[in-house]
Structure 1
Amino acid sequence: MNFEVIIGIENHIELKTKTKMFSPGKVNFNDPQNTNVHYTDIGWPGTMPTVNKKGVELAIKASAALGMKIDNKLIFDRKNYFYPDLPKGFQITQFYHPIGRDGKLEIMDLKKELKTITIERIHIEEDTAKQIHANNKTYLDYNRAGVGLIEVVTDPVFRNAHEVKEYIKLLREILLYTDVSDAKMNEGSLRCDVNISLRPIGSNLLFNRIEVKNLNSLNNIEKAIEFEIKRQSEILLKGQFIQMETRRFDEKTQKTILMRKKSDATDYKYFTESNIAPIKLEQKFINNIVDNLPELPQEKKLRFMKDYGLKIEEVNLILASKSLAEFFEETTKTTLKHDLIVNYILGDILVVLNKKNIDINSTFLTPKKLGKLIVFQTEGIISSKQAKSVIKYMFEEDLTPSDIIDKYNLKQISDATEIQKLLEPIFNNNLKILNDFETRPERVQKFFMGELMKLTKGQVNPVVGNKVINELIEKNINK
């Protein structure tokens, strides 16, 4: 490639509050359209905004988690523009006095080296209405209008899609583990705008920037960036000019599509929001939030590897879900078999959760039940195959592992005398195969174990079963 890629990221993050940022309007993603609309959100004359204290606390928490300098003056501004999703004609935001400045996160780049991503600012603002495009029409859902947001703006320090994805994944984890947001990209509570520019390698000349808005998944972020790099490169190699544009990613065509052209930066004519007086935040108030930050995912990853002996790949998969990480830690209190806990969570359990698109906390499976199941397996009461069956039933029925084992007769046969009684007729009917024992002992052993497992539907303890088989082989050969 003849060009260097320059990328900056803007993330709009819905704060985890029960009411909106500047009104008492309710916040609930699943409510019917246009049922949570407050007068203040749509700019009725005479209505006055009030600041959501919880929203401010969450913004401070996010700023602290990203290592930012926190402004103790809370001042809001008006961003003025006219668009159907903004009925007031302005958006309350922070332009001149963002709540947080100068943060950073460390990610792993393509060379497996740490790279510092510098974050310019975090500011508080209110969301706009949601636009729904269908049947050549645009529908507006004002439930989202006024929902509290923070916007996290990075410096243009990314050089490829991999770095962007690593940053978004880590940012999302921080938002989840600090309880700032539920950070669900598919529901729009974590949205990503990507600004992409190219420049000739070795040059400071930067071509016009293209903004791709409202990317809602890591896959779409990667595809949009790669498409834009290719598209812009082809334009420049033809000697043509790149115009400033806002685009969106179309999942059907896997391409970015023009939304609107920009002749220059939009003049929003910012001025201080006159209906909200500047608020001086006490340092004690800020310190209390900062000092009580929960364990951050970066710290949790190191602890999981150290305390539980997990691989980084396993840790990343577990920590991608806060509830799953909590489930894992609770299960470790019931058994020290951490390897089995991880295997079941990342295997059988995660398969069901992903297939049904459900959270672990909405199932009958609990850490105590999984821990007890693993104890049964390690004691030889059930086999690993039977344990997988028990897990399947625990998703469907609110029963203990013991109840399920009894109900579905999943207990492992470990009594040597009982196993010998099962094997004796098998041996009597297949004595000829013992002639091969001297030349092919493994084949003979596997044959009898296979017949035994077939007879008992895999319920025999293989260790005890093999021991009894060897005893019977020796006994029959020496006759």
Structure 2
Amino acid sequence: MINNFEIIIGIENHVELKTNSKMFSSAQVGFGATPNTMINEVDLGYPGAMPTVNKRGIELAILAVNALKMKLDPLVKFDRKNYFYPDLVKGFQITQQYCPIGSEGILEIEVHGIKKNIEIERLHIEEDTAKQIHKGDLTFIDYNRSGIGLVEIVTKPVIRSADEAMEYVNNLREILLFLGISDVKMYEGSLRCDVNISLRPFGTTTFSNKVEIKNLNSIANIKKAIEFEVERQQEILLKNGIVEQETRRFDETTQQTVQMRAKAGAIDYKYFTEPNIAPIQLDQKWIDQVIANSPELPSVKRKKFVEQLGLEVHDMNIILSSLELTNFFEATIKLTNDANKVVKFLITDILSELNKNNLTIDQIKLTPKNLASLVNHLNDGIISSKHVKTIFPIIMNEDIKTVDQIIEENNLKLISDPIIIQDLLEPILQANQELLKQFNERPERVLKTIMGLLMKETQGNVHPDIANDILLKHLKN
């Protein structure tokens, strides 16, 4: 429990851009490919190999800058960050140290009903490094990732709790996903999170030594790592100790942060202007066109769904947690007027099946047309909720049959013809004359009993509303 200190948190996110080729070369991008098969001479730093700038990467960076309400620098300049490490074959990384494409932004979050703007210091474009793979005493290098376009997004130290940090990263992830900037899969490394944490006594304004926790790979681990680190630092400070400036990682097995390396001061990377890429002046009309063609932000979708369709915020947060699920939902509600039923089916029956089999909705056979048809037939009284349980497994696993075909082949249609229902009721009424005499004293019991017998007789295949009306008229006469 933190009572004595104010928590100071700043977050750095590295985001892989969703481009077909790398940021400064023509090599293709793809997760999970055979190691060292998606590279070329630029990625490997061959002498004389010249970088070129990926136009799509610039477009995606512009979308991120605009969504985060940042100042956009239309003059794109690149620098070299020089250091030697096995995963950096060129001996330098192309980045934007001095002129980031975006600066001074904000992202609104809401925690425990309180809204807060998280100030974002900068957003810059750079290239990724290669991946190290450790096996026993050996380290292997996969250069497939080397040169993939990134944007690094850095907040100011304005975050004050683990919950705020989680909400910030979650909101940022949502924006980047829906704008098509990145697939933001933390477990694949396309969204990486480094958290800087320090504590200071309440009322002071100076910053203490900060500890950086590297490469947190899930929203849940962000919370766990921060909470553990805050407790660790507080314990040191309460004993009049000094929190050393260092880099740590979160160990999922022990649920603790552990030291990676000490950090005595800032490393001198000897930045200088990238000599092989001339400054690029972006045309304002082109910038405006990129922004005008931007996909709809998730916050806009959420507001529209809640205010125009009357849906619950909690339900919409579940839908908006997945781009595929949101696209499916939007396609379905174009074909039916009952958005609430669509949401109910998506977040219960369908998500349960998806989670059980670790699938996304685009990996099953269900189509928006079939789900909308199911909802419409249910609302029109053609089928019952009992029939839905039979239809669902078929439309989720077979891509040929329509809901109408399934209804016909399995004889699932509700009986709604009043004459047929009347004929079905006659023998039941005749057999329960004594019960019918109790209608005036116990109308609800009589009605439920007769309806129950009718449903048993027809295996639940009678339209309940029509049957109920017919039975009431009979009982009241």
TM-score normalized with structure 1 length? 0.91
Give distance in 1, aligned partners of 2:251 and 2:422.
65
Aligned match for 1:40, one of 14, 39, 42: 42
User: In terms of mean alpha carbon deviation, does 456-465 or 178-187 score higher?
Assistant: 456-465
Q: Name the structure 1 match of 2:5.
A: 3
Matches within 5 A, 1:79-228: 79-110=81-112, 112-133=113-134, 135=136, 138-228=139-229
**Could you tell me how far 1:6 is from its partner in structure 2?**
0.7
In structure 2, do the counterparts of structure 1 residues 451 and 203 end up closer, same or farther at CA, with 3 Å as the change threshold? same
Give distance in 2, aligned partners of 1:107 and 1:40.
40
Structure 2 portions without partners, runs of 5+: none
Give distance in 2, aligned partners of 1:133 and 1:446.
69
User: In terms of mean alpha carbon deviation, does 267-276 or 465-474 score higher?
Assistant: 465-474
User: In terms of mean alpha carbon deviation, does 450-459 or 30-39 score higher?
Assistant: 450-459
**Could you tell me how far 1:431 is from its partner in structure 2?**
6.2
Give distance in 2, aligned partners of 1:428 and 1:137.
86
**Could you tell me how far 1:154 is from its partner in structure 2?**
0.7
Give distance in 2, aligned partners of 1:456 and 1:131.
66
Letter in 2 for 1:48: M
Measured against aligned partners, the alpha-carbon deviations of 1:176-204 in whole angstroms (never above 9, x if no partner) come to 22211112222211111111111111112
User: In terms of mean alpha carbon deviation, does 290-299 or 403-412 score higher?
Assistant: 290-299
- Asked if the contact 1:65/1:293 (under 8 Å) is kept, the reply is no
User: In terms of mean alpha carbon deviation, does 320-329 or 76-85 score higher?
Assistant: 320-329
Q: Name the structure 1 match of 2:334.
A: 333
Q: Name the structure 1 match of 2:295.
A: 294
Measured against aligned partners, the alpha-carbon deviations of 1:356-393 in whole angstroms (never above 9, x if no partner) come to 33333333322222222222111100113323432332
Q: Secondary structure at the match of 1:174?
A: helix
**Could you tell me how far 1:44 is from its partner in structure 2?**
2.3
Give distance in 2, aligned partners of 1:330 and 1:249.
40
Give distance in 1, aligned partners of 2:391 and 2:139.
49
Give distance in 2, aligned partners of 1:274 and 1:450.
83
Aligned-pair identity in percent equals 55
User: In terms of mean alpha carbon deviation, does 460-469 or 141-150 score higher?
Assistant: 460-469
TM-score normalized with structure 2 length? 0.92
Q: Secondary structure at the match of 2:93?
A: strand
Letter in 2 for 1:108: E
Measured against aligned partners, the alpha-carbon deviations of 1:195-226 in whole angstroms (never above 9, x if no partner) come to 11111111124321111111121111111111
Give distance in 2, aligned partners of 1:427 and 1:16.
68
Letter in 1 for 2:324: S
In structure 2, do the counterparts of structure 1 residues 389 and 166 end up closer, same or farther at CA, with 3 Å as the change threshold? farther
Letter in 1 for 2:124: H
In structure 2, do the counterparts of structure 1 residues 355 and 416 end up closer, same or farther at CA, with 3 Å as the change threshold? same
Q: Name the structure 1 match of 2:17.
A: 15
User: In terms of mean alpha carbon deviation, does 422-431 or 329-338 score higher?
Assistant: 422-431
Letter in 1 for 2:260: M
Measured against aligned partners, the alpha-carbon deviations of 1:35-93 in whole angstroms (never above 9, x if no partner) come to 21222212222322111111111111211111111112221111122222222221111
Structure 1 portions without partners, runs of 5+: none
**Could you tell me how far 1:429 is from its partner in structure 2?**
6.2
- Asked if the contact 1:348/1:388 (under 8 Å) is kept, the reply is no
**Could you tell me how far 1:427 is from its partner in structure 2?**
5.6
**Could you tell me how far 1:472 is from its partner in structure 2?**
6.6
Q: Name the structure 1 match of 2:412.
A: 410
Letter in 2 for 1:214: N
Aligned match for 2:67, one of 38, 44, 65: 65
- Asked if the contact 1:66/1:103 (under 8 Å) is kept, the reply is yes
Letter in 2 for 1:259: M
Measured against aligned partners, the alpha-carbon deviations of 1:137-192 in whole angstroms (never above 9, x if no partner) come to 54432211111000011111111122122212221221122211112222211111
User: In terms of mean alpha carbon deviation, does 82-91 or 382-391 score higher?
Assistant: 382-391
**Could you tell me how far 1:5 is from its partner in structure 2?**
0.6
Give distance in 2, aligned partners of 1:415 and 1:272.
81
Question: Are 1:305 and 2:271 matched, yes or no?
Answer: no
In structure 2, do the counterparts of structure 1 residues 220 and 134 end up closer, same or farther at CA, with 3 Å as the change threshold? farther
Q: Name the structure 2 match of 1:396.
A: 397
Tell me the matched-pair count.
474
Give distance in 2, aligned partners of 1:460 and 1:43.
74
Give distance in 1, aligned partners of 2:249 and 2:331.
42
- Asked if the contact 1:91/1:125 (under 8 Å) is kept, the reply is yes
Q: Secondary structure at the match of 1:120?
A: strand
Give distance in 2, aligned partners of 1:244 and 1:178.
36
Question: Are 1:379 and 2:391 matched, yes or no?
Answer: no
**Could you tell me how far 1:449 is from its partner in structure 2?**
3.5
